[in-house]
């Protein structure tokens, strides 16, 4: 069987047809601007990041320590009880080597996003961040990592005040 039976006599639309206005279409650039209130829990979390510290919240009933913090325990449904200073070290729960950008361009050197369980928080509790200063092939689940901070005078109270986590020398 040849492909010819599937080829219809027609005019194909080409990129130039759009560019030169032979095909009509409408575009819209959304103008959406938000300024989210950080609230009590995340507000304190970010303020502490600016000081180079990671903090969580403990629920005395179930004893869980969560980070990023919230002011209530989602399992017990009650206000949780206290701020807990945590280490800036942790363990890789899972990771990926990501070879694409937001707009699907290829990356020669992959980003390495990882979910990191923070030391001092309950097992399995932590947050998403990047890994850096690491051989991509050497990353593994259970790897011990430590935060690499922005210089103090450049921190602004944001999750990006941590540049990335790097392997701890074992």
Partner 1 sequence: MKREVAIVGIGYAGFRPLTPDLSYKELVFEAATRAYAEAGINPRTDVDSFISVAEDLHEGTSITDEYVPDQLGAVQKPVQTVAGDGIHGLAMAYMQICTGQFDIVVVESHAKASNILHLGHVTAMAMDPVYTRPLGVHPLALAGMEMRRYLDESGLTHEHCAQVVVKNRAHALSNPLASYPAVLEVEDVLNAPPVAEPLTQLEVSQHVDGAIVVVMAAGDVARALTDMPIWVLGIGFANDAFALDSRSWAQAEYARLAGQMAYRMAGIRNPRATIDVAEIDDTFAYKELQHMEALGLCAPGEAGYLVAEGYTSLEGELPVNPSGGSLGVGHLLDASGLARVLEIVWQLRGDAGQRQIPDVEVGLAFGWRGLPTTSGAAIILAN
Residue 37 or 153: the one with the smaller Cβ distance to partner 1 is 37
- Determine if 61 is a binding residue for Zn ion (CB under 5 A): yes
In Å, how far are 120, 125, 167 from 79, measured between CA atoms?
20, 18, 35
Point out which residues pair with 16 in neighbouring strands. none
Residues at the contact surface with partner 1, assessed by CB under 8 A: 26, 28, 30-42, 70-72, 74-77
C-alpha to C-alpha distance for 118 and 85, rounded to whole angstroms:
11
To partner 1, the closest distance from the beta carbon of 39 in angstroms equals 3
To partner 1, the closest distance from the beta carbon of 96 in angstroms equals 20
To partner 1, the closest distance from the beta carbon of 2 in angstroms equals 41
Selection from Zn ion, partner 1, none that 61 binds (CB < 5 to 8 A by kind) is Zn ion
Q: What is the DSSP letter of 166?
A: E
The H-assigned helical ranges of 39-136 are 39-50
Nearest in space to 127 (alpha carbons), one of 155, 149, 104, 94: 94
- Determine if 73 is a binding residue for Zn ion (CB under 5 A): yes
C-alpha to C-alpha distance for 104 and 106, rounded to whole angstroms:
6
Residue 41 or 131: the one with the smaller Cβ distance to partner 1 is 41
Residues that bind Zn ion (CB under 5 A): 59, 61-62, 73, 75-76
């Amino acid at each position: 069987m040849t492909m010819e039976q599937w080829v219809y006599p027609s005019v194909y639309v080409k990129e130039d047809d759009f560019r030169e206005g032979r095909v009509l279409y409408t575009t819209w650039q959304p103008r959406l601007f938000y300024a989210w209130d950080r609230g009590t829990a995340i507000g304190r979390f970010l303020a502490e990041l600016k000081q180079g510290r990671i903090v969580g919240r403990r629920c005395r009933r179930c004893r869980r320590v969560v980070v990023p913090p919230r002011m209530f325990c989602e399992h017990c449904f009650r206000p949780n009880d206290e701020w807990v200073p945590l280490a800036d070290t942790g363990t890789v729960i899972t990771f990926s080597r990501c070879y694409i950008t937001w707009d699907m361009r290829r990356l020669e050197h992959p980003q390495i996003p990882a979910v990191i369980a923070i030391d001092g928080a309950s097992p399995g509790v932590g947050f998403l961040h990047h890994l850096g200063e690491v051989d991509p092939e050497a990353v593994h689940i259970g790897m011990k990592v430590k935060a690499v901070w922005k210089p103090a005078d450049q921190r602004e109270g944001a999750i990006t005040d941590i540049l990335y986590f790097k392997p701890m020398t074992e």
